[in-house]
Amino acid sequence: MPFKRLLPVLPLLLATTFTTAAEMKIGYVNTERVYREAAPALNAQKKLEREFASREAELKKLAARGKELELQLAKGKPSDSERRAMERELASVDREYQAKSRDFREDLNQRRNEEFAAVQERANRVIKQLAEREQFDLILQDVVYVSGKMDITPKVLKELEK
């Protein structure tokens, strides 16, 4: 019975809801693009590359030495004592490579998280300032679909350049 009383008013309620939603100013920011293209993100990436370059070079040297030993074992005809010595060295190089590689990845991930947390914090400040300045009602990140006319990522990237 109460539902029948609401039926005549329902179109009016729906129209009001759609009108209010149509008046809202909504924007979207593509966070992945900000992490790929923003100057602070690019600077953070370069900083990490410089910071970890020597350790990466050391890993490459270990990998090259391991391959060299494998080739010597496969192609050469070493004596039994030479073969055992080479196999021990190969096992040692492999263990060292695995340990250093694991430490490298863990340290790099930790530093990357630290650097990009700062980038994210700065981007969020810029987004909030932009929202207030241009009077947005809502700004979204990480959505399934958004119309291109709502994408304010270029504006955010431009603000981050300053």
Instruction: Assess contact for 142 and 35: CB atoms under 8 A.
Output: no
In a domain, 13, yes or no: no
Task: Look up the domain containing 149 and give its range.
Answer: 24-161
Question: Residue 1: its pLDDT value, please?
Answer: 47
**Structural domain includes residue 11:** no
The answer to whether position 4 is within a domain reads no
- Confirm whether 35 is domain-assigned: yes
Q: How far is CA 135 from CA 99, 126, 152, 157, in A?
A: 52, 14, 13, 18
pLDDT in tens, 98-108: 999 999 999 99
Question: Tens digit of pLDDT for each residue in 35-85?
Answer: 999 999 999 999 999 999 999 999 999 999 999 999 888 887 778 888 899
Q: Which of 108, 98, 105, 87 is nearest to 62 (CA)?
A: 98
Domain count, the chain: 1
Q: Is residue 9 part of a domain?
A: no
Residue 10 forms part of a structural domain: no
Give me the count of residues in the chain. 162
pTM above 0.85, yes or no: no
CATH of the domain at 122: 3.30.910.20
Is residue 70 one of the residues assigned to a domain?
yes
The Cα 106–Cα 50 span in angstroms is 17
